[in-house]
Structure 1
Amino acid sequence: MEGSGSDLQPHRGALTFARPATAGLARAQQSTPLMTRVGRSRTVPPFNRPPPSVCFRRSDQWQRVLGAWRVFFSALLAAGLARADLVVPLEPPDGATNVSPDTRLAVGLDIGLLSGTNVRFYVRPAVPRQDFTIAALPDTQCYTRQFNGGTMAMFLSQIRWILENRERSNIVFVAHLGDIVDRGDLEEWEWWNATNALYQLEDPLLTGLPDGMPYTVALGNHDGSRAGGYVNYARFRQDSVFYNRYFGVERFRTRPWYGGHFGQNNNNHYTLFSAGGLDFIVLTLEFAAGTNASVMAWARDVLAQHADRLAILVSHSLLYAQGVGNTDFRQRWWSPEGQIIYEAMKTSSNLFLMLCGHDPVTGYRIDTHEGRKIITVLSDFENLSGGSGWMRLFRFSPARNEIRVRTFSPWLNRFEDSPPHDFTFFVDLGGFRVIGLQTNVTAPVVMSPPMSQWPIRAANQAWEWFAEVEAGGRSFRTPVRSFQVASTVTNPVPSAPLILALQRLLDGRFVLVWQSVGGRRYRVEYSDGDDNGSFNGTFREIVRSQLEETDAGPPGLPGFMVYVDDGRDTGGPPRAGARYYRVRVVP
C-alpha cells in the first residue's frame, strides 16, 4: 500500500543496535517492552509525529531527525548498548571486515550534549595487543641493610615472584625506583645483597630469556653518597662508586635492551623494550638530575631521537607528601627535585608516565601539557616494617587504553586493594593519532573526515579507533573498536541491506534502521505474522515517492536510513503481535 505520511529519515552514520540473526530480515514483536532505566533513571521522550508530507524542507527534516535520535538513544540506553556517558560509537560496526576504503567514523551523541560539544576521532593500525605488566620495586635499603624490620628474604621474595610469574602475568620490565642500599659508598656488603637479588633478573636459566629480563636501577640519594644525604649534589654524583661498580655501563653494555648513557657513568641511562605491539623507552635519571642542565638536555635529546616510542621516566624523587594540605593521594605535590625534572621534560611529546619512590607514602598526580597527560606515580613502603615486600604492578592493557596500578606483597602473599593502592589510568597507549576534530557540534551524529584524508596508513588496512567527546567540562570516550577495509569493494551495500536496528516505541510504532549509500533508493517490505506470530512467507511493498526512498547523502557515501512504521502504510498494528521487515535496493 502507498502513503505519503511515512517517516523516512535519510541520515549519515549507522546505528549499532541489536543485529538480527538473518541479514536483511528483522522481526518486530508488538509485546516487546521498552525499558526506561539503565544505571540511572532515564525516561524515553515522547516522539512528536510530524504532519504527512512528501517533500521536507531541510530544517523540518533535521528537526525530525533530532526527534528520532532522542528515541533511538534512549532505546540504546534501555537495551544496555550505551553507557551512561552518553556517547555511542556508530560506524563502522565493531569487527566489520568489508568496510569501504573511503569510510568515515561516526558517533552518536545524547541530545543533552549538543551545546558546545567537541568531538575528536583517534585511529591507529590494528596489531595484536596483549596485556602486559611492569613491576616496580621501591626503596629496598631496609632489605639490603637488614634494619628497621626489613630483611633480605623480603627482597628475594619479590624477585622470586617476578621470575615465577613472568609468563603468567606477562611481566616484561622491572624498574627499581632507587635507594637500592642505605649507605651508598660506605658499606659495600649492602651492594652484595642487592646483586644477590637483582642479578637473578639477568639469568637466562631463571628467566627463560637469553638476555635476561630488561630492567633498570635508579640511583637514589642513599646510593651515591657516602653519608646517605644529598646536600652537595656535585659530590653526590662523584661518589656513585659502588653503584657503577655493580650496575654500571659495563654490566649492561652488551644487553640488546640497553640503550645508552650520559657521560662516563651509568647514573643516567635509558633502556628499550617492546610489548603488546608497542615500543617503549625507559629514561632513568639520577637523584636530583634536574640540577644538571647538561643531563636534562641529553634526556630531552634521547626522547626526541626515540619519538616513535612511548616514554617512561624513572627517577628516585619526583613527588612527596610533606606540607600542610598535601593530603590528597590523587594529586601529590612535586618534590623540589621532581618539579625541576617535570618542567624540563614536559615538552617531550612521547613522555606519558613517570615513576618514583623516596618519600614513604603512596599517591600520584596527573598533569596536562598542551593537551597531553603526564602521569606521575609515587611508591615507597619502607615505613611498613622495612617494606614488607610491597611492590607495584603496572598492568597495561593497550586494547582498552588503560593502566591498572596494583600493590602486592609476595612476602605477605596479598594485594592491598584500598584506593591509594589500586587505581586505573586511561591513557593513549598505542600511537593513536587524531584524524578529525569537530567543534561546537550541533548534530546528534558526528562524522570524521573520510579515510583518504587521514594522515596515517595501515599496511594491512586493519584499524582501531575511538572518539573522545568534551561537553560541559566533562570528557567521555567510546570503547576502542576495530574494522578491516576490504581490498576491493564493488558494492558497499548488498542487495538486501543489513538491518541495524528494529525497535518498538512506547506509542506502538516500529522504527527500522538499515545501512545505506548516498544516492541509492531503498524500499521497505513488511509481512504480518500468522496466528502464531510465525513468518508467513509473503512480503508486501511499502511504495513511496523517490524522494522518500532515496538516501539524500553525498553519492557513494555509506550511511543509514530510518523508517518509522506508524500503521498508516501497513494497515494498522500487526495481527498476532508480530511483524517482519526487509529492505531491498530499488534498481
Structure 2
Amino acid sequence: MNFGNIMLLKKSGEMIDERGGWCSGIVFVLTAVLIAACTPTEEEEITFVLLPDTQTYAEKYPEILEAQIDWIEREASNIAMVIQQGDLTQNNNEEEWRLVRNAFQRLDDKVPYVLAVGNHDMGSEPGKFADVRNTTLFNTFFPVKHMAKLPAFGGIFEEGRLDNAYYLLETGDYKWLVLSLEFGPRESVLTWANNVVADHPDRLVILNTHSYMYSDSTRQGPGDYWRPQGYGIGKDTAAHAVNDGEQIWEKLVGKHANIRFVFSGHVLNSGVGTLVSINDAGYPVYQCLANFQEGVRGSVNGGNGWLRIVKIKPQEKTVLISTYSPYIDAYSEEKAHQFHIRHAYLESGNKMSN
C-alpha cells in the first residue's frame, strides 16, 4: 500500500500534509511519538476492541450483537478491554435494554468493558432522544453497584450513575486510564474529567464519548449535523451546558499531555473520520470516528457486525487499526477502515523520544 508523502506540520494544533490538506485519511505516518508508562522490556501486544453504535442490532438484529459478543468471549484472553461508543439502544425502551444487558453481561469477569451513553440512550420517554438528560433505563440495566464489581472500574462523576465513569487498566508495562463521557458532556463533567486526568499523570488516557469527530475528519462543531447543541439538552446552560467535539478538545483533550486516543461514533454520512492533532504539551492525539449503524452510507443490516480492533505493538512502534465482522467473518479492505500509525512509541509523558 502506498501511503503517499505525508509530512507533519503544526498549524493550530493540527497535522496537515504537504499539499495543505488535513491529515484525515487512511494512515497516520508519524515522526512524533505516543506516550506511555515506560519502555517495555519484552515483546508486548495490547488489543482494544471498539464497538460503535449497536442501536440497530438492539432494535432489529439481535443475532448480530450476539455474534459480536460470541467472538469477544472466544478472544477474551487476547483483549485488554472492550470499549462501546454509545447508542446502545435505538428506542431507549426496556425490551432493547434487556437485550443489550444480557449480551454484555456475558463478558462479566471475562474481559473489562466500558459503555457510553448516546443520544438514543436518554430522553423523557422511549422514542424521544436527548430532549432531556434522563438515563434512568441505562442505569437500571447497568447499575453502578454491579459495574463497580467488574475488572478495571475506577470511579464515577455522579453517585448511582454510570453516565460518566473512568476505568484503570494495566497491560504488562503499560498503565491506562479509560474515560467514558456522556453524550454532549456538561461543563461540570468536563471539570471533573480534567481533575481525573490530572490525578493520573502516569497513565495513558483513552477518551471514549459518543459524539466528538465528524465525517469530514474534523472535530464536530458549528455547522455540522447531529451536534449535541441541536437536541433538547442543548438548551441547558451554566454547569449543565453541553459541549461538542471542538469544545471537548479545547476544554479537556488538548490540555493534557497524556491523553492519547479519542474514540467516538454517532455521526452518519460515511460514518468514518480520522485526525491527528498536537496538544498543548506538543504530543499527538489520535482521534477516530467509526459508525456502521443503519443510516450510514452502504450500511447493511444496521452495521453487519463490524467492529474495530486497535492493536498496539510497542516494540514495533506501530498501532494497527482494522475493522472486522464476526457476523460475516470478514475484514474490511476499505482503506478508511484498515490503517496503521507507524513510527509510534510509548513513553512516560514528560518528554518525547525518537
Distance of 2:32 and 2:164 partners within structure 1: 41
Establish whether residue 334 from structure 1 lines up as the match of residue 334 from structure 2: no
5 Å-filtered alignment, 1:511-522, equals none
Q: Say if 1:129 and 1:260 are closer, same or farther in 2 by CA, change over 3 A.
A: farther
Q: Say if 1:338 and 1:230 are closer, same or farther in 2 by CA, change over 3 A.
A: farther
Match of 1:416 among 318, 332, 338: 332
Shift of 1:286: 0.3
Give me the CA root mean square deviation: 2.5
Give the 3-state SS of the residue equivalent to 2:81 in structure 1. strand
Q: Say if 1:412 and 1:381 are closer, same or farther in 2 by CA, change over 3 A.
A: same
TM-score, normalising length: structure 1: 0.47
Q: Deviations over 1:208-247 (max 9, x none)?
A: xxx3311110000000123555564xx22xx101100112
Match of 2:75 among 151, 165, 169: 165
Correspondence for 2:308? 392
Q: List runs of 5+ in structure 1 lacking aligned partners.
A: 1-83, 86-117, 203-210, 436-465, 468-587
Q: Deviations over 1:413-461 (max 9, x none)?
A: 10012210101124442426548xxxxxxxxxxxxxxxxxxxxxxxxxx
Give the 3-state SS of the residue equivalent to 1:262 in structure 2. strand
Q: List runs of 5+ in structure 2 lacking aligned partners.
A: 7-30, 222-226, 228-243
Correspondence for 1:429? 346
Shift of 1:342: 1.3
Shift of 1:338: 1.2
Say if 2:40 and 2:173, in contact at 8 Å, map to a contact too.
no
The count of corresponding residues between Structure 1 and Structure 2 is: 291
Distance of 1:400 and 1:431 partners within structure 2: 17
TM-score, normalising length: structure 2: 0.76
Q: Say if 1:119 and 1:378 are closer, same or farther in 2 by CA, change over 3 A.
A: closer
Give the 3-state SS of the residue equivalent to 2:180 in structure 1. strand
Which amino acid counterpart does residue 337 of structure 2 have in structure 1? H
Which is greater in Rg? 1
Establish whether residue 197 from structure 1 lines up as the match of residue 112 from structure 2: no
Moved over 6 A (4+): none
Give the 3-state SS of the residue equivalent to 2:327 in structure 1. coil
Distance of 1:220 and 1:198 partners within structure 2: 16
Say if 2:180 and 2:207, in contact at 8 Å, map to a contact too.
yes
Distance of 2:261 and 2:54 partners within structure 1: 22
Distance of 1:165 and 1:339 partners within structure 2: 35
Correspondence for 2:259? 351
Q: Deviations over 1:531-573 (max 9, x none)?
A: xxxxxxxxxxxxxxxxxxxxxxxxxxxxxxxxxxxxxxxxxxx
Match of 2:205 among 311, 323, 327: 311
Match of 2:148 among 239, 243, 253: 253
Shift of 1:400: 2.1
Q: Percent identity?
A: 29
Give the 3-state SS of the residue equivalent to 2:42 in structure 1. coil
Give the 3-state SS of the residue equivalent to 1:319 in structure 2. coil
Correspondence for 2:118? 220
Say if 1:280 and 1:309, in contact at 8 Å, map to a contact too.
yes
Say if 2:119 and 2:130, in contact at 8 Å, map to a contact too.
no
Correspondence for 2:273? 363
Distance of 1:152 and 1:357 partners within structure 2: 19
Q: Say if 1:301 and 1:119 are closer, same or farther in 2 by CA, change over 3 A.
A: closer
Which amino acid counterpart does residue 349 of structure 1 have in structure 2? A
Q: Deviations over 1:311-349 (max 9, x none)?
A: 00000011122xxxx3xxxx3342442112111112022
5 Å-filtered alignment, 1:253-272, equals 253-264=148-159, 265-272=161-168
Say if 1:218 and 1:267, in contact at 8 Å, map to a contact too.
yes
Say if 2:86 and 2:265, in contact at 8 Å, map to a contact too.
yes
Which amino acid counterpart does residue 133 of structure 1 have in structure 2? T
Q: Deviations over 1:265-299 (max 9, x none)?
A: 1110001111142010100000000xx22111100
Say if 2:202 and 2:349, in contact at 8 Å, map to a contact too.
no
Shift of 1:307: 1.1
Which amino acid counterpart does residue 56 of structure 2 have in structure 1? C
5 Å-filtered alignment, 1:513-552, equals none
Establish whether residue 374 from structure 1 lines up as the match of residue 288 from structure 2: no
5 Å-filtered alignment, 1:116-155, equals 124-146=38-60, 151-155=61-65
Establish whether residue 280 from structure 1 lines up as the match of residue 198 from structure 2: no
The structure with more helix, counted as a fraction of residues: 2
Distance of 2:209 and 2:102 partners within structure 1: 23
Correspondence for 2:236? none
